[in-house]
Structure 1
Amino acid sequence: MTAPSTAPASSRGGRWIQHWDPENEAFWNETGEKVARRNLFFSVLSEHIGFSIWTVWSVMVLFMGPEYGLTPADKFFLVSMATLVGAIVRIPYTFAVAIFGGRNWTVVSASLLLIPTIAAFIVMEPGTSFNTFLICAMLAGIGGGNFASSMTNINAFFPLRKKGWALGLNAGGGNIGVPVVQLIGLAVIGAAGGPRVLLGIYIPFIVIAAVLAAVYMDNIASVKNDTGAAKDSVREAHTWIMSFLYIGTFGSFIGYSFAFGLVLQTQFGRTPLESAYVTFIGPLLGSLIRPVGGALADKYGGAKITLWNYVGMAAATGVIVIASMQKSLPLFTTAFIALFVLTGVGNGSTFKMIPGIFQAKALAKGLQGEEAAAYGRRLSGASMGIIGAVGALGGLGINLAFRQSFLSVGSGTGAFVAFLAFYGLCFAVTWAVYLRRTASNTVAATATTESKPQLSYAEV
């Protein structure tokens, strides 16, 4: 069997793939997998740098000593605003892939990272006003949008059976940008370098990422914005349920990534160098484990992995509360790092659930084969931007909760108690929506459509 051609179309210029059918195993084995993996690699590179620029202020605030005139509350507000902008821009970034093409938008979005990096490089010195720092932190938020466009793009390249692994690897590789910028910050602090050195290191890498995307990535011509799909995804209850669950996983990851060093400085009196020595460990492990969460979800079902992951997150948070009350830095740090690992597992499992949920809905409607796959891709692609944006807002909530907790009681204990209650609620929602009625729903579906394949929500 001859694989359909993936040659670029001369009529539109650039690297445009006119035919893409990853669900066709012959096409995938002969042509698709190689192309998809190449695009995945360079998508990860660009998204990785985007995450680094988005979270660079989690490191910058460690540099900003008394001479900058900022209180701990001011610093938490700076990182909160970077988180907020990163969440908001995920919506337009999701739709930009279909408008401009995945490869083309990767080039543009990577190049845009030069704006916040150069701006911060220019103004980063004592005496600069708080509002100027705030504007620069907000500009850095555009790095958070790269995740949404990258995930939407890679979702189109891979078949359903590979999405958990591919999306987990794509997101995990991007998430590693958080600990990498913190590690580079540690090296700069250790070498007695200033914040401008950290920013200057990233400028050439941004240019390299944009150039490599232009040379090696592809656009898929069939990926188009479907306003009907966008409206359908907004009306779909599962979009908002998964957004809520993603707040608990990714919102926790990005919020803690911004806040970890500040909490160590403010609550335990660590110096910038002492904070930097451990700040990167949690985000690093949480990023590396994300593809494992996706692979576990592929094997056992995303809902099951997500459910028990929330149990682990609640347990780790409970230990953090105890450590915080007892002022035990070793126990606090160990439990916090464990919580980071669990957020990574949950990131992979929750994002795997999204295409599976809409595939299950397609089968429940009686659709089969490519028709069912197309329905699943249509709604899952449209919903990913919303889910990613709302999930990232969880990071804003975490940093604002820490800010209020330190203002009110002088520690982060109150915030952690609130997070513990939230994880309990996430557990209850996951069980009630995706696991409680699985058996009865599957039996009912089988009774009405015995000849049609069914996919239960427990398998998503």
Structure 2
Amino acid sequence: MAFLYFDIAFMVWNLLGPLAPIFAAELHLNPAQKGFVVAIPTLAGAVLRLVNGFLADRIGQKRTGVISQVIVIGGLLGAWGIGIHTMAGLLAVGLVLGFAGASFAVALPLAGRWYGPHHQGKAMGIAGMGNSGTVLAALFAPLLAREFGWNNVLALATIPAALVLVAFIAFAKDSPNQPEKQPLGKYIAAYFSMLGQADAWWFILFYGVTFGGFVGLASSLPSWYTTELALTPIQAGYATAACVFVGSMVRPIGGALADSIGGIRALSAVYALAAVLLAVISFSPAHFVVMFPLFLCVMTALGAGNGAVFQLVPLRFRHEIGVMTGLVGFGGGLGGFYLASSLGVAKQLTGSMGPGFLVFAALALVALAGLSAVKTRWRTTWGAALVGVQV
């Protein structure tokens, strides 16, 4: 149920990316405006993950998931009923979709708290494979927009969301291994306490690159394919869906690999590969036979990295997993917002998205350097206390 809830929530969260080529043309948005609109749900989801992290610990993951899903369904139906005819309306929809993006802080603790340290990578990877919901948005949103109009897609998306909500209410169950409930003041203090630990900032950076790169590309690729290669929105949706599907499916593989060889080794390989691929993308000619394999490979690397990060987080912060899921998810959302918006700005200023890819490649190298700086300390301190577990 954690996977299913996360999957449909991600589908809804990423609706604006596949629809961007259509509504941008209709509303006459420039590349920077289009990139900003596409990035807003990611930013809103990042902030709301902090809220959902508190609620998941306070009232339980199931109740928090139900509340968020009801808000999303109601918001989409309201937007559809009113009709979206301006950029301001799109930004409002993006803020509502942020509640779907905040599902991250519900689904991962819902799954992770049922399992011990030796299976965190696999459990969190399977739940996190809900990233694949982005595939559904990329595949079906442009098709439905062509048949019924892009405004009506907002209402159509509530149908699977409502069905999953019913199943979630019926079948989801919180683990008995819940943290002690704390008042809001203590919870906020816990966030500040985590922010006082250097390791928390490292994890925010690490996930900001892996998940931020993944979701930023998932939101931006439909626009890239339509503007750089002149594909139709439907063709761009198919190409994006293929990249996102592979990146989503390898998330549990990344978690399992981290369980086997250690999250540090797995992440080091991910950052090195992602940096190289993004740099190559920034300089490569805009031809489908060149760019599609490159995007497929970088999404695969980033998807595996998502699983590897969340093999390490619950090992380091076992008793603060709710707070850390919110913080790390916040970092991932910020990374996605930065990438999606910067690609639009790069296109507006230079006529190419290449500089945006190149800067994100540099961020991957920063993450690699940071991981290299902390790995010895991690392995000799908290990692050494985990008998039989690879760090």
**Alignment match, 2:71:** 112
SS in 1 for 2:245: helix
**Alignment match, 1:175:** 131
Answering whether residue 51 of structure 2 is matched by residue 89 of structure 1, we say: no
**Alignment match, 1:341:** 300
Larger radius of gyration: 1
CA shift at 1:231, angstroms?
A: 4.3
The equivalences for 1:251-266 within 5 A come to 251-266=212-227
**Alignment match, 2:27:** 68
The one of 209, 216, 219 equivalent to 1:248 is 209
SS in 2 for 1:64: helix
**Alignment match, 1:144:** 101
Change (3 A) 1:312 1:108: same
Letter in 2 for 1:357: R
Distance in 1, Cα, partners of 2:52 & 2:302: 24
Letter in 1 for 2:194: S
With normalisation by structure 1, the TM-score equals 0.78
Gaps of 5+ in 2: none
Letter in 2 for 1:118: L
8 A contact 2:105–2:325 mirrored in 1: yes
**Alignment match, 1:356:** 315
Letter in 2 for 1:310: Y
Distance in 1, Cα, partners of 2:147 & 2:240: 18
Change (3 A) 1:65 1:391: closer
8 A contact 2:120–2:310 mirrored in 1: no
The equivalences for 1:331-410 within 5 A come to 331-358=290-317, 377-410=318-351
CA shift at 1:218, angstroms?
A: 2.1
Answering whether residue 163 of structure 2 is matched by residue 208 of structure 1, we say: yes
**Identical-pair percentage:** 24
**Alignment match, 1:412:** 353
Distance in 1, Cα, partners of 2:302 & 2:181: 31
Answering whether residue 250 of structure 2 is matched by residue 289 of structure 1, we say: yes
**Alignment match, 1:373:** none
**Alignment match, 1:218:** 173
8 A contact 1:43–1:106 mirrored in 2: no
Distance in 2, Cα, partners of 1:115 & 1:88: 20
Distance in 2, Cα, partners of 1:343 & 1:357: 21
**Alignment match, 2:265:** 304
Bigger shift: 341-350 or 310-319? 310-319
CA shift at 1:171, angstroms?
A: 0.7
Distance in 2, Cα, partners of 1:232 & 1:65: 43
8 A contact 1:319–1:332 mirrored in 2: no
Distance in 1, Cα, partners of 2:120 & 2:95: 32
Distance in 1, Cα, partners of 2:372 & 2:74: 44
Letter in 1 for 2:329: G
Distance in 2, Cα, partners of 1:318 & 1:63: 29
Bigger shift: 226-235 or 254-263? 226-235
Change (3 A) 1:293 1:265: same
Letter in 1 for 2:167: L
**Alignment match, 1:267:** 228
Distance in 1, Cα, partners of 2:166 & 2:26: 39
CA shift at 1:280, angstroms?
A: 1.0
Answering whether residue 9 of structure 2 is matched by residue 53 of structure 1, we say: no
CA RMSD of aligned residues (A): 2.3
8 A contact 1:101–1:220 mirrored in 2: no
Letter in 2 for 1:428: A
CA shift at 1:58, angstroms?
A: 0.6
User: What do the CA deviations read for 1:243-276 (whole angstroms, capped 9, x no partner)?
Assistant: 0011110010111111111112223332222312
Distance in 1, Cα, partners of 2:378 & 2:96: 44
**Alignment match, 1:238:** 199
Report the number of matched residues. 385
8 A contact 1:402–1:412 mirrored in 2: yes
CA shift at 1:200, angstroms?
A: 3.1
Q: Which structure would you say has the larger RCO, counting Cα contacts within 8 Å and 6 or more residues apart? A: 2
